[in-house]
Structure 1
């Protein structure tokens, strides 16, 4: 399978893999068989594998240029990616009853929400920044479709999750939790997450060339 056919097939597989396993009945059955940890690991590995295939399929799709690449575009991408990685580092594993990906949500403290005090859906914000940052230096049809769909997926996901959480939590409770709280002082744990995020960001820059095939520092991403 080559060209646009593989690209379309990869997209369909990606969305199916992110919709079917998380349906309540399917998820419950998988957790019964695999356990909660097994489901989490399996779902993560499946997501990474399908995403990798989707990126490879975009690279194999027919090249249809939309605009030329210029060196300054990479600087914009690097800046936005710094924000995306730091936001993700501050969000992963934190209690967040307002979005997906939260851990131990019953321990969420509205008086000390961390990154959640700035944005309800930090992981989706990070995904959107990743997608938008990669559109600019990739001015060809396949990659614009790829990253544009991911950006739209993240934006739509925020609205869908907000509606779902309001229904599950009740509008009053949701409104109380969703009220921005940006007064908390940076914690030692938060600063540690920032440091880890910067290390991960450097690792992504180093590995981008060997894994993706192009360097983010001097050629189109």
Structure 2
């Protein structure tokens, strides 16, 4: 549990630096390419620590998720995929928020919190919800992208393909079948 907690803390702290004076000072002192390389390396190391820590964490039940949450989580994941693809390809929703990716992460994490009641999941998914909501709050004054939405059908098809790929790969990647539990 310690590795998971340290990894989440490191990941969150690192991702709170961009958009601050500290980022500007660091980038100015070491140069933009070195700053970006170091940021990427440290972020990847934190993410590896998170994944390894989650895999090593022992199960401590915090609550027992109601059965209906197992059915709601996949539906929320479809919305999460749609928002992520909107962020990547553009779409009507991109004009509603400065960063649909952060909302995608919130919904992804919420879906997993609804379906998992253990302490490690609370640290992992709760941490991502907390970070994403803070980042959304910090970015609330950013100029929104006025995307025309001409490719909305493409966004929907790609999001559905991504969703189906995650459903099929989930048992192999994480050892948990999403459907038919």
Q: Which moved more, 1:47-56 or 1:7-16?
A: 47-56
Residue of structure 2 in register with 1:201 after alignment: 163
From the CA coordinates, give the structure whose radius of gyration is larger. 1
Query: Which residue among 114, 117, 120 is the counterpart of 1:136?
Result: 114
Aligned partners of 2:13 and 2:96: how far apart in 1? 31
1:13-28 aligned at under 5 Å gives the runs 13-19=10-16, 23-27=23-27
**TM-score relative to the length of structure 2:** 0.78
Unaligned 5+ segments in structure 2 are: none
Q: Structure 1 residues 120 and 33, CA, compared in 2 at 3 Å: closer, same or farther?
A: closer
Q: Structure 1 residues 80 and 24, CA, compared in 2 at 3 Å: closer, same or farther?
A: same
Aligned partners of 1:157 and 1:66: how far apart in 2? 27
Aligned partners of 2:71 and 2:58: how far apart in 1? 26
Q: Structure 1 residues 206 and 53, CA, compared in 2 at 3 Å: closer, same or farther?
A: farther
Do 1:21 and 1:27's aligned partners in 2 also have CA atoms closer than 8 Å? Answer: no
Do 2:89 and 2:155's aligned partners in 1 also have CA atoms closer than 8 Å? Answer: no
> Alpha-carbon deviation of 1:159?
1.2
Residue of structure 2 in register with 1:213 after alignment: 175
The Cα RMSD (Å) is: 3.1
User: How many residues align structurally?
Assistant: 176
